[in-house]
Structure 1
Amino acid sequence: MTDSNGLKILIADDEPLAAERLQMLLARIDDVLLVGTAHDGESAVRMAEALQPDLLLLDIAMPGQDGIEVARALSRHGKSPAVVFVTAFDQFAVAAFDVAAIDYLMKPVDADRLARSIDRARAYLEARDARSPDEALAAPPSQWLEEFWASDLSGLVRIAARDIDRVTAERDYMRLHVGKRSWLIHHSMTALEEGLDPELFVRLHRSAIVRRDFIAGFTRNSSGRWIARLADSNEQPVGRLYADQVRAIAGR
């Protein structure tokens, strides 16, 4: 994964001050080697292909190819570098998991937060490189969404899809419910329904998706409409268009 000088890192950011800050922060971290700095998407792809970094600290809003496009382009070339997005905008968090980013840092980058990202990158690369070719073929990347990034008071938080109890729509946003906490993400219900594993989740209403094992049972109200009883004692009305889902779950 790395040479004797440590983890090889490439910075891609069109803002000179932002790139310089990352360089200064990296200088304080042991066992890392800055191999270059790119200032637009096209040069980021060229430099990554030539320098073969282990980790790419990648801005998203750049002229020409943006960071998402850069990550997608590099993912087509064998073992691509681990990607940590570094951006001033949290609205790109939804797109980040589509290209398997291992972390998402908000500007101005905090030194401790960057150090944690470096540790996460090391762990990711070590686990990836430890897999044999047969294991890599036997375990292709999942076609389903496995994680989300959502805004939090401290910045951004990673949410594993399988930890989500239910999803409810709130105008142009979706609320992810995990235990007693919840987060808003900018996504459509249709896209979530198509992206979440149908073995784990089921849509019960035009504005609600529920994890299957979070459903404790079903009852009918006075008008004959199905109501899902959830594990947290809440209830979720079942839309008339989704009544077949109840019969499928119940095996009837």
Structure 2
Amino acid sequence: MKHKYTYIVIEDVELQRENLIELLNTRLGLALIDSFENAEDAYNFLANEDNPRPDLIFLDIEMPGASGFNLLDAARRFCLSAKVIITTAFAEYAIKGYEYNISG
């Protein structure tokens, strides 16, 4: 049986989070593990070793109260093999993302 890639979504805007999940599930056939509307909940999920490790992490960089780049460091620490795809409407964050050697 073919491996179905798993993922989590970290996005504070509910409509964008729901649209991304629908696209990833229906068009790409990916398997959602969980989604988070804030960095704190996502960090707690990633830090818990009992939780499944995603293959992909879709990460919004601009969130209230936290930098997605701080969460990116945690994601790399807790999910060594996961690929991180940043989602942002801000060009400066996209450029900074390349400095972190991430996709998106």
- Smaller-chain TM-score bracket: 0.7 to 0.9
How many residue pairs get matched? 101
User: 1:76 maps to which residue?
Assistant: 77
1:43, CA displacement in angstroms? 1.4
Misfit runs of 4+, over 3 Å: none
Q: Deviations over 1:203-233 (max 9, x none)?
A: xxxxxxxxxxxxxxxxxxxxxxxxxxxxxxx
Instruction: Considering fraction of residues, name the structure with more strand.
Output: 1
Is 1:89–2:90 an aligned residue pair? yes
Q: Deviations over 1:231-251 (max 9, x none)?
A: xxxxxxxxxxxxxxxxxxxxx
Q: Percent identity?
A: 27
User: Helix, strand or coil for the counterpart of 1:27?
Assistant: helix
Alignment of 1:192-231 (within 5 A): none
User: 2:25 maps to which residue?
Assistant: 27
Q: Which amino acid aligns with 1:72?
A: D
What stretches of structure 2 of length at least 5 have no aligned partner?
A: none
Specify which of 14, 32, 37 is matched with residue 12 of structure 2: 14
- When residues 26 and 33 of structure 1 are mapped into structure 2, their CA distance, relative to the original with a 3 A threshold, is same
Instruction: Considering fraction of residues, name the structure with more helix.
Output: 2
Structure number with bigger Rg: 1
User: 2:56 maps to which residue?
Assistant: 55
Q: Deviations over 1:86-124 (max 9, x none)?
A: 1121121221023221x22xxxxxxxxxxxxxxxxxxxx
Alignment of 1:14-163 (within 5 A): 14-49=12-47, 50-77=51-78, 79-101=80-102, 103-104=103-104
Q: Deviations over 1:153-205 (max 9, x none)?
A: xxxxxxxxxxxxxxxxxxxxxxxxxxxxxxxxxxxxxxxxxxxxxxxxxxxxx
What stretches of structure 1 of length at least 5 have no aligned partner?
A: 105-252
